[in-house]
Amino acid sequence: MAMSEEWTLIPARAGDLRACVWAPESEDAPLPGVVLVDGSGEGACDDWGEWPERFVNCGAVVLAHDKPGCGGSPGDWSGQSFADRAAESLAALGVLRRQPAVGDQPLGLLGFSQGGWVAMLAAALEPTRVDFVICISGPGVGPAEQDRYRIERDLVASGVSEADRAEALAWIDERAARLTAGEDVTAVLAAQESLADRAWYEDATRYFDNPAALGFLARVLDFDPVPVLEKVSCPVLALHGGADTLVPAGASVASYATHLPPLPDGEHGIAIFPGADHGLFTADPDPQVARTDQLAAGFLAMLAGFLARQAQAHAKSSQTSAA
């Protein structure tokens, strides 16, 4: 499907963040609007590859924005909390609302991985502004449990012995406790670096091996998604890969199913795609195969159906109000 691109800006505490809006060049507008909420680490609005086109083909107008300090935008994402990121996502919804291709159609957040926590938090904080949430590999457990799962899977994949895995995870648990208790990040980092001769060290400490990264971890470790989920009043589509090595799919699905409030006119959508990874792909990249064709069967169709139902529910509500 042919689509247009329009560059815009998102007002934020750090300064205006660069953003791009993708819309289908068709007669189907207005359509539901979706703000993409990035996962962990750096993220620029033009780093999303084929994802905006995939979502446009599912029947959405899509907006993505830079994280602070990325893509030429001001600020520093590593100094943010999840609440900071939620505020930016809500500001992005406000910008997307002004797009003619969206009109008065429903607006939602689509969070990838860590972005799932952010999207849920935004929906809980401002329920009247978020009409739906889509989480792709968004953890239903907290950061401490999610990261412990990731590290354990990495250690197993690297062939680290059971005894060494136990020692590594004991340190990860101690690190989490010390950071959550408010211990100075430099002291925790020094304690971690004293273990650098351990066989497990590189696998267990990658990503959180410097003051900025540990500082970010300290700010988010005590985040509990359960009370957040309990306050989300809009429809949620939560999708996971059964072969995800970064997020515990089973525990996350159980958390969504247990803690999301029931909906008056239907149920949330929660699914695990067997054999799919963190990005919901079922195979490694192959230059002979279109990457979209390697996505889990039914994933994009399920997403398109969910978006269509949001538009239909909006139309029904509008007709009822006008009657």
The arithmetic mean of pLDDT across residues 36-44, rounded, is 95
The arithmetic mean of pLDDT across residues 202-224, rounded, is 94
pLDDT in the model for residue 323:
55
Partner residues linked to 9 by β-bridges? 18
Q: How far is CA 13 from CA 10, 85, 88, in A?
A: 10, 10, 8
SS3 111: strand
pLDDT over 90, % of the chain:
92
| CB of 111 closer than 8 Å to CB of 225 | no
Give the pLDDT band (50/70/90) at residue 267.
Answer: confident
| CB of 18 closer than 8 Å to CB of 9 | yes
pLDDT in the model for residue 321:
64
Q: What CATH topology corresponds to 3-141+224-317?
A: Rossmann fold (3.40.50)
pLDDT in the model for residue 29:
74
| DSSP run (H or E) holding 96 | helix 82-97
**Which among 203, 114, 196 has a CA at the least distance from the CA of 154?**
203
pLDDT in the model for residue 30:
92
Strand ordering across the sheet containing 269-273:
3-10, 17-24, 61-65, 33-37, 107-112, 132-136, 236-241, 269-273
pLDDT in the model for residue 320:
65
The arithmetic mean of pLDDT across residues 13-18, rounded, is 94
pLDDT in the model for residue 223:
96
The arithmetic mean of pLDDT across residues 178-193, rounded, is 97
Query: Hey, where are the domains in the chain?
Result: 3-141+224-317, 143-220
Query: pLDDT tens digit string along 286-300?
Result: 999 999 999 999 999
Residue 322 scores a pLDDT above 90:
no
The mean of the pLDDT values for the chain is: 95
Residue 1 scores a pLDDT above 80:
no
Residue 43 scores a pLDDT above 80:
yes
**Which among 237, 232, 224 has a CA at the least distance from the CA of 260?**
232
The arithmetic mean of pLDDT across residues 263-280, rounded, is 93
Give the pLDDT band (50/70/90) at residue 21.
Answer: very high
The arithmetic mean of pLDDT across residues 44-64, rounded, is 96
Query: pLDDT tens digit string along 215-265?
Result: 999 999 999 999 999 999 999 999 999 999 999 999 999 999 999 999 987
Query: pLDDT tens digit string along 137-180?
Result: 999 999 999 999 999 999 999 999 999 999 999 999 999 999 99
